[in-house]
Amino acid sequence: MLHATSHALSPIKNNKMKIKKTTLYLVLIIILVTMMGFFLLGNENIKQDNVTPNTIDGEFQKVVLSMKNLNYYPNTIKVKANQPVEITLDDSVRGCLRSFYVKDFGVNKYSRTSNDKITFTPNKKGTFRFACSMGMGTGTLVVE
């Protein structure tokens, strides 16, 4: 009689064991992922000087941009308002990033070589975005 009862209960016991095992696995997964996530995701960004040192040559504020990590480098340009700006994309700039675009000042030019100059006059102060024609390379134009 006792044997029969314990035999009948065994599937229920088994199920409880299985659920507990699964729960244990899930808890271990969560702990493992949290620990490794803390280690692998807790990082500070790589710092790099990212502001243009522009030079004033005659009437133009000259800026040379190159390419780093698939973006314009430096990607922050500081210029003075109402003074013409001349931007040159050096030979490291490739692909769609050679097509330079500043919506707020109506600039949209394809610079085929590093001899092509992109010129415009920023006539309002503020912070504006510049980008390539596909929006893959972006940066900030600060007009002071």
Partner 1 sequence: MSFRKFMKYSSEEENLVKTILISLLTSFTLLAFLYFFKLKYIENFIPKYGFFLFFAILSYSLILPSVKHVRIYKEFACMSGMMIGMTIGMISGFLPGLFLASTNGMFVGSVFGMSVGIFFGIWNGKCCGIMGVMEGIMAGFMGGLMGSMTSLMMFNDNLKGIVVISFFISAITLFGLNYMVYNETREIKDKNKEGDFFTMFWSLLLTALTVFIMVFGPRSVLFQ
Using CB under 8 A as the binding rule, the residues of this chain from 16 to 45 that contact partner 1 are 18-19, 21-22, 25-26, 28-29, 32-33, 36-37, 39-41, 43-45
- Alpha-helical (H) ranges within the chain are 2-41
Give the contact letters, 73-112, x = binds to partner 1 (CB under 8 A), - = no.
Answer: ---------------------xx-----------------
Residue in the structure block whose two tokens are 């003074």:
83
Token pair of 22 as six digits: 């699964």
Among 83, 77, 88, 138, smallest CA distance to 113 is for 88
Q: Is 55 in the site for partner 1 (CB under 8 A)?
A: no
**Bridge pairing between strands 85-89 and 60-68:** parallel
Q: Is 12 in the site for partner 1 (CB under 8 A)?
A: no
β partners of residue 141: 77, 128
Q: Is 70 in the site for partner 1 (CB under 8 A)?
A: yes
> Total binding residues for partner 1 by CB under 8 A?
30
**Bridge pairing between strands 138-143 and 76-79:** parallel
Q: Is 135 in the site for partner 1 (CB under 8 A)?
A: yes
CB nearer to partner 1: pick between 82 and 113: 113
CA of residue 52 relative to chain centroid, distance: 18
**DSSP secondary structure letter of residue 47:** P
Q: Is 133 in the site for partner 1 (CB under 8 A)?
A: no
Binding site for partner 1 (CB under 8 A): 15, 18-19, 21-22, 25-26, 28-29, 32-33, 36-37, 39-41, 43-46, 67, 69-71, 94-95, 135-138
